[in-house]
Structure 1
Amino acid sequence: MFKKLAYIFLTFLLSGCGASLPPRPNIDGPIQTLGGGFLVKSGKLKYGLTYQSKSLIDPVYAVAEFESPINPNSPLRSDMGKLDLNKEIIVQSPAFGEIKNNENYNVTLYLYSDESKTKLIHKHTDQIQFSMPISMIRKIGIKEL
């Protein structure tokens, strides 16, 4: 009886070892990531992240770069303009329709002190994991790479 219980417990314990945990949000530096993930609409995906200023001083301008699942050497970009440091900062990527499942993707937020974006204050990097059951990917119309 003891051997059966030990076997069941060990099987249960090891069953969680195969799944990778999503990366933790980056909380280092003058801005922290509150959360991030992927938005799905009409067979298209968008990155979506939320940030909060910890010690940024106005004015701050931002550009976000998102790793392109289709071509990692050509990132997707969003120019966020001047940030409102008194509110949560929400950023979304341009839409795309193809992705590799169970993969971590890089997102980098570049913060500048000038409108022409030549004086870099901080470079803030996160990884966002895309992981979804294959049946769900097919159901919502996303092409898996």
Structure 2
Amino acid sequence: MSHRPASATRIFASMLLLAGISGCARWQPETGHGLATLPPACPLKRGPVVANFGEAGMAGVYQFVTQDAPDSDIAAFLTASKTAGFDVMLITLNINGKDTLIATGHEILRTQDQTDREFALACSLGHGKVYLTNARYDPRDPTGTKRVG
């Protein structure tokens, strides 16, 4: 019978704790001062906490960096987005020096579970150099007007 050194036991326990905590982790938008660096929002695949969905529900708006992505990655992203029911604005915006496309979510969000599912779906849309960098949830406009900012 062998005995593990105390440091190995502590490392193993720390790894188990981190694995447990990471399952509960939620994506948070980049905050701070200065220009945002637009890092990937995934792999957490759990949306931010939405505090008040309101009677009309919320609408998800997602930013995808396309900087330096080959046409094949952008085409795959557009195909996946359409298949998933997301509406992509076919206008490239330059946000903090990175080419970005904006997409709106496919459903009215009324619960945190719906928000998490749509966020995970948005995460799955990225291909190659195209990746989700930001998500925003705004009160849904009852007239059907989609807002991106």
TM-score bucket of the superposed structures, by smaller chain: 0.3 to 0.5
Greater percentage in strand: 1
What TM-score results when the alignment is normalised by the length of structure 1? 0.37
What TM-score results when the alignment is normalised by the length of structure 2? 0.36
Whose RCO is larger (CA < 8 A, sep 6+)?
Answer: 2
Greater percentage in helix: 2
